[in-house]
Amino acid sequence: MASESSNFDISGPLHLTHVNWDNPYNRKSVAASLVQGAYILEEDRQKQREGSNALAPRWWTFFHFQLLHTLVDDVGNSIFGAIYEFKPPSSMYNNTLHRGPRYVIAFRGTMIKVSSFMRDIRLDLKLLKNGLHRTSRSKIAIEAVKNTVVSVGSSNLWLAGHSLGSGMALLAGKTMAKNGVFIETFLFNPPYAYAPVARIRNRKWKRRIKFAGSMLTAGFAIAMKDKKNSTFDSFVALPNWIPCLFVNPHDYICSGYVEYFEQRRKMEEIGAGSIEKIATQNSVVSLMMSALFDKDSEPMHVIPSANVTENLTPQQNFIEAHRLNQWWKPDLHLESKLYKYQ
């Protein structure tokens, strides 16, 4: 029996009967629903739900999308993503401003299902070690994005993902942005590979730890300035790409992004901007991997610009704070900030 969260008619944003593409809440809710569709596609596959028994289609047809392709992992053959095309009735264009996508590529996150769990967990560990870009799944994802851009253009495409899927979308978006191709990207609960300092309650120790972290990272970067630093090279090419990050402060997997961007602003306020400018472009883990093992590293969290939206609605626990369905609920208490790297 399917869980309620899989059934759009029970758990989906049924209240969103008309989509205003100029409305950030509407855009976010549709993007999150299409990511949920990628989850349920894999769930349908595992439970052999086909035809009228399949639950996934309702997550995109409600918003007038069609499924063009599924993205299938070469390890285990699980579905990890979907490519959708927007096919609205002609009446939807009358008397409305249209900022919606023609195509969306959505990536699911880790699933607690036997047939895909171990593969997903291995990829989670790769992400934590800044090595997601070296995996076959990421290469399939990036190739799909490149091919779609060639076919339809970057302005007609959205990328979206949740959790591990956000890592895939972020990696694909960064890869394209390095070549001057900027794709609108929605990242729900994107993993931040380091323990968030925000969980430390003592303000004095919190400031000291963050300052020490910036000094350590900057020191490593300066000491290795003669080595090829691919992280720096990619960072300086990205300021004009501004992905949308949706994070929850009670979700320790993604909440570190708030500290990452706020630390940059605070260091500038105290006159230490030059230190933070170096620190924010680098990752200690990546620098050590390069120094000790001569491995190419791609830290997901190292991005220059972002529009960060926090869900400040009270949450019961970490599991609630990490769930995708929070992002299409009505009456959310959200706070958004634009961080633009100069």
Question: What was the pLDDT predicted at 74?
Answer: 94
Helix crossing, 136-152 with 164-177: angle to 10°? 50
Whole-prediction pTM = 0.83
Q: Which of 96, 87, 108 lies closest to 43 in space, CA to CA? A: 108
- C-alpha–C-alpha distance, residues 280 and 238, integer Å: 13
Domain residues of the chain, as ranges?
A: 4-339
Say how far apart CA 169 and CA 237 lie, in whole Å.
18
Rg for the chain, CA atoms, rounded: 20
* Cα atoms in the Cβ-side hemisphere of radius 13 Å centred on 327: 30
What is residue 194's predicted lDDT score, i.e. its pLDDT?
A: 66
pLDDT the model gives residue 75: 93
Cα(first)–Cα(last) distance of the chain, in Å? 52
pLDDT at 294: 44
| Structure confidence by residue, pLDDT tens digits, 310-332 | 999 987 788 999 999 999 999 89
Of 239, 334, 337, the residue nearest 281 (C-alpha)? 239
What's the rounded Cα separation, in Å, for the pair 254 and 318?
A: 11
The segments of the chain whose pLDDT lies below 50 read 95, 197, 205-206, 208-224, 226-231, 272-273, 275-276, 278-279, 282-294
pLDDT tens readout for residues 279-305: 455 444 444 444 444 456 677 778 889
| Strands annotated E in 156-233 | 157-162, 184-188
pLDDT for position 233: 57
Contact 55, 40 (CB under 8 A): yes
